[in-house]
Chain A
Amino acid sequence: MRNGVTNVLIVGVGGQGVILASEMLSAVALRSGLDVKKSEVHGMSQRGGVVTSHVRFGGKVHSPLIPSGEADVILGFELAESLRWVHQLAEGGKIIANSQRLVPPITATGKFSYPGDVIERIRARAPQAKIIDAIGIATELGNPRLVNTILLGVLSKSLDLDEKIWLEVVEKMAPKGTGEINRKAFLEGRSR
């Protein structure tokens, strides 16, 4: 945190729900009475490309982009993507990495391969990295679609935002009829 601004970088692959997660985090910050800016580049994201979303909140936010090396928290929806962005972590920053691996089709050319030691390499950079099997937890809760909310729950532990407001936003933004299960998923994530 620099100048009273908290920087959260959310990363993943197109279609994983990165944008929705950053949308919810921003809504929580807004409801908490903070200034907030959020930035991502859409366009190619639907086509399986890299997606990053910058969320910044605090007293007064100017640039919508997090300066290099100033991410207080990185939330990675995919392991190779967490590795791609881990160098943006600020000193003392935290990284939360979903353990899902999405192998891009480019590996079929034989020129690139998915890093087998991806977790070790994340840990080498950020020893306290939290690796979360969100799909496993979601399956236990009975719905693989809950990954997003579980990861937000884990993220919420690293941020100074009110649990009550988080729950309001999670319930409000969840698809109709899934408020209760999303609440449960959030709290499950928060307990990890």
Chain B
Amino acid sequence: MEMLLSGNEALARGVYEYGGEFASAYPGTPSTEILQTIAQFFKDEIYAEWAINEKVALEVAVGASYGGARAIAAMKHVGVNVAADPLMSLTYTGVGAGLILVSADDPSLHSSQNEQDNRCYGKFASIPVLEPSDSQEAKDFVGAAFEISERFDTPVMLRVTTRISHSKGIVTIGERSTAERGGFERNIEKYVMVPAHAIKRHKLVIERLENLKEFAEQTPLNRIEWNDREVGIVTGSIAYQHAREALPGASILKLGLGYPLPMKKIADFASKVGRLFVVEELEPFYEEQIAAAGITVEGKKFFSNFLELDVDRVRDGFIEAGVLEPAAKAPTSAAEPEQVLPRPPVLCPGCPHRGMLVSLRNAKVLTTGDIGCYTLGALPPLSQIDTCLCMGASIGHTFGIEKAGKTGKPVVALIGDSTFLHSGITALASAVYNRTRSTYIIVDNRITAMTGGQDHPGTARTLMGEKTHAIDLVRLVKALGVEHVRVVDPYDLEETSAALREEIERDAPSVIITNRPCMLFPKKIAQAPYAVDAAVCTACGACFRVGCPSISASSETNEKGRPKAQIDASTCTGCTICAQVCPADAIGPAAAE
């Protein structure tokens, strides 16, 4: 049977077909749907969970693998940074049953804070990296990865990119097959990484890499498509598809195993083609290794390491390299785009973060921010987030600025519930231990909203749909040593502002926690909409500055020609923030029809 599946769906299907029994992840675009698909379709066969962060996700998957279950840990590229500590020694211990680390990279930063190339982790950790180029391969490579993992006693990175994860293609569906495996087998020298053992294991890792290089020469994962021999292209992942289309006549060495490289095969291929090119996204990962092996190769000179590639960029590269005629482009391909107003993402109507962001703006404080929907508060008209580096960083930033002592303006940290649990707890404990006096705000909307509404240890639900314990943030924060903890309603600007004023002035650490749920997840919430009384509206623009998508300029104007406001009743949720900021009292509940 054939189905149209996204790379993420196909990968989940692969875990099912190839006998996977365990999957752990922390959500992050573009990886999130892998676990969601497993939980939706295969939860009778595969245990699936949201871990509190990526380090824990990898550690539990390692435990499952040691314990005899084929396991995956899935995360976005930056998640691997969080999981890097276990990864770098996991490569020494090796695995029990097959273990896959799925890294979903995001060239072009569609929804990320950077565009790091995680193939580099493969080389860094001396582990094999598989790079599917479409949905079918995303599924098939799961099987290959489990096999390689077990055969060479190594974790395997399955590295996808946004274009693989979020593109759909035709996939042939197969049956699930499983093998009997025992549980954890004691082996202290293998599994206990104290120096005396780790030294021996490192030696094995070096040998393993040599064996993997031999394997790379033989495996059909790396294949040559012979065509015209004037140009030869070494490529993999999505870049393969673009290259096939941009230069259909060229010979291609398509790498499914992106690390370690089959250097003999590449040398042989190079010797049979006129010019050898590498077409790869982001880092010159293949190119540098090929060049270091003494093979003449061209690559990043024509195919940038900046942003994702596409057919045009590959075509342009080959035009620049003199391989293609400029006429290879579509006649209209250089057409200038029209200038059209931008449409940046915005906080939803009724988003509970808005009330806190507006209150922070009124309080005239600096705000170290974190990663989540509230980061959108950095954009105009709110413009109230002053830093955003990585998950959990807001707390350390505020404390560092406090201790640096040069900023002369209050600084507060703003962090979401999921992010606080992910990596904020340790930072807050550290700040309290080191005698902070600052205010830390947790905007607790009881969900991981930015990535599409996933549960976490504060929501009382698991990914498998079971009820579970919910962490009590107030008690948690008190246990860290924060005495002054208050819960505020972010829809009440007066209450929220008063809490901010008092806690910022206080010469002791404090935490403010908001208590309104997300408007979208787990279910849409909307109360009766509000409306603007045009006769009363003075067109002062105060409501425009809360940045609500339900509020727009109406065709009515004041005497100076400034537009009055109107509210779209079909999207307004009745949160009342705009009514609270309106100095003219022009906004109130819409009259029922």
Chain A residues with a Cβ under 8 A of chain B: 2-3, 13-14, 26-27, 30, 35-44, 46-50, 61-65, 67-70, 80-81, 83-84, 86-91, 103-109, 112-115, 121, 125
Contact = CB atoms under 8 A, between A and B. Distances in A.
A106 B245 contact: no
Nearest to B451: A43
Interface stretch (B329-337, B410-418, B419-427, B473-481): B329-337
B163 A65 contact: yes
B346 A48 contact: yes
B310 interface: yes
A63 B162 contact: no
Given A106-B343, A109-B381, A70 B111 contact: no
B381 A63 contact: no
A52 to B, nearest CB: 11
A143 to B, nearest CB: 15
Interface string B251-272: 0000000000000000000000
A107 B553 contact: yes
A36 B245 CA distance: 15
B4 A30 contact: yes
B346 A47 contact: yes
B241 A87 contact: no
Given A47-B347, A68-B330, 10 more contacts: A2-B330, A35-B170, A36-B168, A38-B167, A63-B245, A65-B163, A68-B332, A87-B335, A87-B336, A106-B343
Interface stretch (B62-70, B115-123, B543-551): B543-551
B338 A64 contact: no
B501 interface: no
Chain A CB within 10 Å — which of B30, B330, B333, B347 has the most? B330
B376 A47 contact: yes
Interface string B336-377: 111011111111100000000000000000000000010010
Chain B CB within 10 Å — which of A42, A62, A68, A105 has the most? A105
B2 A30 contact: yes
Given A37-B168, A84-B340, A121-B338, A105 B346 contact: yes
A26 B4 contact: yes
Given A64-B163, A87-B335, A26 B168 contact: yes
A69 B338 contact: no
Contact of A41 (B162, B312, B337, B348): B162
Contacts of A13: 343
A37 B333 contact: no
B330 A105 contact: no
B332 A49 contact: no
A36 B29 CA distance: 24
Contacts of A2: 330
Chain B CB within 10 Å — which of A37, A61, A65, A115 has the most? A65
B235 to A, nearest CB: 12
B169 interface: yes
Contact of A46 (B4, B334, B380, B520): B520
A64 B241 contact: yes
Contacts of A109: 380-381, 544
Band of interface residues on B: 35 or more
B166 interface: yes
Nearest to B2: A30
B242 interface: yes
Contacts of B111: 41, 43-44
Contact of B4 (A38, A43, A65): A38
A104 B549 contact: yes
B343 A90 contact: no
Nearest to A85: B337
Given A43-B110, A125-B338, A36 B170 contact: yes
A67 B345 contact: no
Interface in B541-561: 541, 544-545, 547-549, 551-553
B132 to A, nearest CB: 13
B243 to A, nearest CB: 9
A130 B90 CA distance: 59
Contacts of B332: 68-70, 87, 89-91
A115 B341 CA distance: 8
B396 interface: no
B588 interface: no
B343 A42 contact: no
B443 to A, nearest CB: 16
Closest 10 CB pairs of A and B: A43-B111, A108-B544, A47-B345, A69-B333, A69-B332, A64-B167, A39-B167, A112-B341, A87-B335, A69-B330
Interface in B515-562: 520, 541, 544-545, 547-549, 551-553
Interface string B83-106: 000000000000000000000000
A30 B315 contact: no
Contact of B312 (A68, A89, A108): A68
Interface string B1-40: 0101000000000000000000000000110000000000
A69 B380 contact: no
A81 B162 CA distance: 23
Contact of B338 (A26, A46, A86): A86
Interface in B316-340: 329-338, 340
B2 A70 contact: no
